Amino acid sequence: MTVDAPAPQATSPESRPFEADVAKLLHLMVHSVYSDKDVFLRELVSNAADACEKLRFEAISRPELLADDPKPRITLTADAANRRLSIEDNGVGMSGEEMVEALGTIARSGTKAFIERVEAAQGKEGAHLIGQFGVGFYSAFMVAERVEVVSRRAGADEPSIWSSDGQGTFTVATADPADAPARGTRVTLHLLEDAASYAEAWTLERAVKAQSGHVPAPVYLVEAPGVEPRALSDGAALWLKPKADISKEDYAEFYRGLGAFDEPAVTTHFRAEGRHEYVALAFTPSAAPYDLFDTERSGRMKLYVKRVFITDDAELLPRYLRFVRGLVDSSDLPLNVSREMIQESPVLAAIRKGVTNRVLGDLEKLADNDAESFAKVWEAFGAVVKEGIYEDFERRDQLLGLARFRTTASGEGFRTLKQYLADLKDNQTAIYYLAGAEPERLKASPHLEGFRARGVEVLLLSDAIDSFWTSSVQGFEGKPFKSVTQGAADLSLIAKPEAAEDASAAEATPAVTAFIDFAKATLGEKVSDVRASDRLTESPVCLVAPDHGPDRQLEKILAGSGRAGSAAKPVLEINPSHALVAALAARADVDAAFKEDAVGLLFDEARILDGERPDDAAGFSARLARVLQKALS
């Protein structure tokens, strides 16, 4: 005689708070982030497809998980009479604890940053925020007044139910086994009145075919409870189809299925054969995600082995290409590949090299064939690609050739280093650059005056990484990079245009030389030197870094991060032809205290022009008052 196992004891629903400022977050999302309500269906179908792929992976080592239901499927059931829609899969499923973890934590990468980003974008026409935050499941609350998730983990007996109205709390409880999938997850949406059309078959068919037609699991539609399902998509892997059979619209649809809402700027699709066999499908976006510079952001490339999803955590591209989305499907890696094997696999290293080379090659083709489109890509991702100039020695020259720069000669556009070198002045021996945090401040910097007077182009670098790669790169096509804020400018060998020749080319008079010596003695330990400048034509003074060590911007970055150590003292350069300097030098009759105050004010002015504050605000105020009083007396 057999004894039936006791039925699982139902537990009372337990109310838990979401781990986020949910009420505000969901309100913002519903009213600000998602402009197209259809997105909720795409997000839920994509989640269901991922669950099927995860089950296929787990079933490699545990085939019993598939039982008598080995083929993946996603089923949509429309119930227009009750204004309900359900999305069910026979994937890996979730336990109650997994539901709390997966559905109870919103915007894990930073809720505060998420909210601030959305609020900042409110009211901006064309703001493309969708797909940037990792909160796709919660888009269901755009159309639903309540969402219920019933799930049974593959290989487990007890199902669980998660429920929420999106107002700040959710409940988790044991579900009725008779009303739960045998394996997998069913998401039921109790639709809002103005979203009732999503319980209509024609609406669902249109949305699935438009946005989810290429998910790697077949999608079926039940037009009403009790009606036989019909197929909306076959679950065929787009990346395995011949390129000639795939339209631009097919690629765009698949790209959006990866969680993006912009149009791909570049599509890289190829099959590698020979020593290693794999297929790669990678998309370069046209718009940057909000967390592009998040230190914890990983790549968006998925790894498959013979169509079986393995992981989305494999380093298939270097970090400086972390904005690229897509997948690699390998025929060489073992299906039971573990994370440790992935990290150590020479096959994966070869794949990584091959995919990286193809993505960069396709970006070069875009730059050559459609400069305007590439400029938009560079505007969005150039700051990240330049990380590769610093990190990827093997491809450094290729990345320098790909890089685009704003310069003193580029206007609002970009220039390449090849264009820069083509316009070198006679006797110019370096590629000059000015690094800083604010583009407008760079354009107004006094350090550019001598270069501008001679028509020498200067790169204007405003990304934080610029100060690092410029200090590590030897040069480009034989010309070294040189900061205009470091060392002597060495401009005397570069002739000015005849129209620009003026008294500023004159050498310092004995009186000015004596004033410079006085300034050096007055400033003492505040500076490493005081000298006449050949880079200034309009401003009286500026600060530069010594010949050796970091330039001015890198010193500021290191100081701000607490890694400056014993930073070198700056050099004060004085324009010997400036009227103020000449007047001060000529006033040999004034008392020493006045001249000391004047030197102090010139040093403070140089700091202000360099984007800093006077190091002694009270002293600056007192000096200014004394000089003004002297001038008026």
Find out whether 185 is annotated in a ligand binding site: yes
Residues 6 or more apart whose CB falls under 8 angstroms from that of 501 comprise none
Find out whether 299 is annotated in a ligand binding site: no
**Tokens describing residue 493:** 């060998």
Find out whether 339 is annotated in a ligand binding site: yes
**Tokens describing residue 384:** 């990240």
Find out whether 626 is annotated in a ligand binding site: no
**How many C-beta atoms surround the C-beta of residue 499 within 10 A?**
6
Find out whether 155 is annotated in a ligand binding site: no
Find out whether 163 is annotated in a ligand binding site: no
Helix (H, G, I), strand (E, B) or coil at 591: coil
| Helical segments of 479-616, H only | 510-523, 552-560, 579-586, 592-609
**Tokens describing residue 20:** 């986020």
**Tokens describing residue 356:** 């990286």
Find out whether 481 is annotated in a ligand binding site: no
Q: Is the CB of residue 535 less than 8 Å from the CB of residue 447?
A: yes
Find out whether 110 is annotated in a ligand binding site: yes
Backbone angles phi, psi at 232, to 5 degrees: -105, -25
In total, the chain counts a number of residues equal to: 633
Find out whether 126 is annotated in a ligand binding site: no
218 vs 406: CA distance, rounded Å: 49
175 vs 152: CA distance, rounded Å: 9
Find out whether 132 is annotated in a ligand binding site: yes
Find out whether 174 is annotated in a ligand binding site: no
Find out whether 142 is annotated in a ligand binding site: no
Find out whether 301 is annotated in a ligand binding site: no
Q: Is the CB of residue 323 less than 8 Å from the CB of residue 288?
A: yes
Find out whether 109 is annotated in a ligand binding site: yes
For residue 313, the surrounding DSSP H or E stretch is none
Q: 529-532 and 571-574 as β-strands: parallel, antiparallel, unpaired? A: parallel
Q: What is the DSSP string of 388-447?
A: HHHH-GGGHHHHHHH--BEETTSTTS-B-HHHHHHTPPTT--SEEEEE-S-HHHHHT-GG
Annotated binding site for ATP: 43, 47, 89, 94, 109-110, 132-137, 185, 339
Annotated binding site: 43, 47, 89, 94, 109-110, 132-137, 185, 339
